[in-house]
Amino acid sequence: MELIDAFESAFKEWDRLVHEVGDRQWEEPTPCTDWNVRDLVNHIVGEHLWAPHLLAGETLAQVGDRYEGDVLGDDPVAAWERAGSGSWSAFHREGALHGQVHVTGGTSPATEYGWQMTTDLAVHGWDLARGIGVRTRMHDELADAVYAQVAPQVKSWQGVGVFDPPVPVPEDVVPQERLVALLGRHP
């Protein structure tokens, strides 16, 4: 699966799920033990607010602290729609995935950044679905593609707060469950 296709698939499912959050569900817990539904959506909205800047070549210092704290305001769904629209356009801009982006650790290939954003959309989409009590099933091709991207890195992430340690699952689980278990979730 090509990166942009994976991004689109994960993005569309995340978008669907955000629009399903009920008015009384924003404080519900999620599998991310430090985040409730609102915190989780705030995290993704914040990331997508950054995307147009980073994909345009701006540095972290140039973006500054404008997206720290609560970026959802009184209307979390509208905040997502605005951030998602800007991010979608930035990822689909001609040549956006051919350069480097500035990230916390220095610079990174835009494709690596794209896979990180896709991973967050896919896995946190699963988290959001659990938090609001709805079903989600990412396409097998998406789950397999994200798994292939993150599996080689998982060991190096242990102990640094990126994801919880992998959870053992049977060999015959569906690709979505294999992916979320790799990233510390209990399917």
Superfamily (CATH H level) for 3-140: dinb family like domain (1.20.120.450)
- Amino acid found at 1: M
Are 31 and 124 spatial neighbours (Cβ–Cβ below 8 Å)? no
pLDDT digits (tens), the chain, 187 positions: 999 999 999 999 999 999 999 999 999 999 998 999 999 999 999 999 999 999 999 999 999 999 999 999 999 999 999 999 999 999 999 999 999 999 988 999 999 999 999 999 999 999 999 999 999 889 999 999 999 999 998 887 776 667 888 899 999 999 999 999 999 999 9
Domain extent listing, the chain:
3-140
pTM: 0.95
Q: Got the DSSP string for 53-115? A: HHHTT--HHHHTTTT-S---TT-HHHHHHHHHHHHHHHHHSTTTTSSEEEETTEEEEHHHHHH
